[in-house]
Amino acid sequence: MTSARHLFLFVSLGLFWGVSPSLYRHWGVLGMPVSHVIVLTGLGVGLVLGVICQFRGIDWWGGRRLQLFGLGCAVLMNVPFAMGLIFAQHVPPTELALVISTAPIVNYLVALATRRENAAPRRLLAILLGFLSTAILVITREGVLSGTVSWWLVASFLLPIFYSAYNWFAASWWPPRVHPMAAGVAESMWSGLTALPVLLILAPPWSPTQLPAAAYWTVIFATAMWTLERIAFFTLIQEKGAVFTVQAVYLSTPAAVVIALAFYGGADSWLFIALAILMAALYFNNTGSAARPTSA
């Protein structure tokens, strides 16, 4: 039975996921260096989670196996994270939100290719609907019908592919007997540390183009938000399972579009048609017995 606490965490998780594309856009408009966002949020989230683990008696260090796992996750996460921050400078956040939301469908394609799951009719239908929604999104964008393709939008579909590679690695190489919160500490800390050399080389704090300190308040907000997101995610995974937790995408997808529209506008009827088809695709992909893996 889903308690009020679980429902609150579930709704919070969906909203946390939904606000991210608009934050990406905000940082792009502001001219925030990508490396600054990754380093500050990575180290910030890792530090807070580490303190929580320390108070709860959770082994957050976990030895070399956990640290290598965290390093691998960080590298595979930083690539699409950085790409998303760059694409947000060229792709409207409403469209970027829909692109990122196709990740669960791409995850299933990867699972099929690696034989972690078997083909199921409802999920194959989800793939077809997912491709239909993305085709509508690309074809109907301004200029495409007249022969001008938005290559930034097309390239942004690399994001769900890279996120799927990250998910595959995390599922395949998860260290045994490791608490999810400890994995979050390792991944977050390595995320910030691996991006630190890029920050020092390309956008050092002593650079004349350094933004004023007041410009970083949204980065602090994102750090706090993503820390709460990790806690909500890990709690739901442990207490309700992955099948329940992944349903938060039903909230995050429309929330991302609505939030982006509220701040940046850019709505048209085709956008909502693509959103409706994508929601149907996510429904078929994430519900029913087909949503449960057939093999470990």
Share of the chain above pLDDT 90, in %: 73
pLDDT confidence of residue 143: 57
pLDDT confidence of residue 142: 58
pLDDT confidence of residue 140: 84
Predicted confidence (pLDDT) per residue in 178-220, tens digit: 999 999 999 999 999 999 999 999 999 999 989 999 999 999 9
pLDDT confidence of residue 295: 37
Mean pLDDT of the region 8-14: 94
Mean pLDDT of the region 160-180: 90
pLDDT confidence of residue 234: 86
Domain assignment of residue 50, given as a range? 17-291
Name every residue whose Cβ is closer than 8 Å to that of residue 77 and which is 6 or more positions away in sequence: 166, 187, 191
Lowest mean pLDDT of 68-72, 165-169, 216-220, name the range: 165-169
pLDDT confidence of residue 145: 54
Name every residue whose Cβ is closer than 8 Å to that of residue 11 and which is 6 or more positions away in sequence: 251
Instruction: Flag whether 105 is in a domain.
Output: yes
Neighbours of 63 (CB within 10 A): 10
Share of the chain above pLDDT 70, in %: 94
CB 163 within 8 A of CB 20: no
Give yes or no for residue 113 having a pLDDT over 90: no
Mean pLDDT of the region 61-85: 96
Mean residue pLDDT across the chain: 90
pTM value surpassing 0.85:
yes
pLDDT confidence of residue 139: 86
Mean pLDDT of the region 52-59: 95
What domain count does the chain have? 1
pLDDT confidence of residue 296: 33
Instruction: Flag whether 1 is in a domain.
Output: no
CA count, 13 A, side-chain hemisphere, 72: 18
Instruction: Flag whether 169 is in a domain.
Output: yes
Instruction: Flag whether 12 is in a domain.
Output: no
Instruction: Flag whether 284 is in a domain.
Output: yes
- What does the angle CA 210 – CA 214 – CA 219 come to, to the nearest 5 degrees? 85
Name every residue whose Cβ is closer than 8 Å to that of residue 186 and which is 6 or more positions away in sequence: 46, 60, 62, 66, 67, 69, 70, 71, 73
Instruction: Flag whether 37 is in a domain.
Output: yes
Instruction: Flag whether 149 is in a domain.
Output: yes
Instruction: Flag whether 112 is in a domain.
Output: yes
The two three-digit tokens of residue 232, written as one number: 């909500």
**Burial class of residue 1, CB neighbours in 10 A (0-12, 13-18, 19+):** exposed
Mean pLDDT of the region 265-273: 88
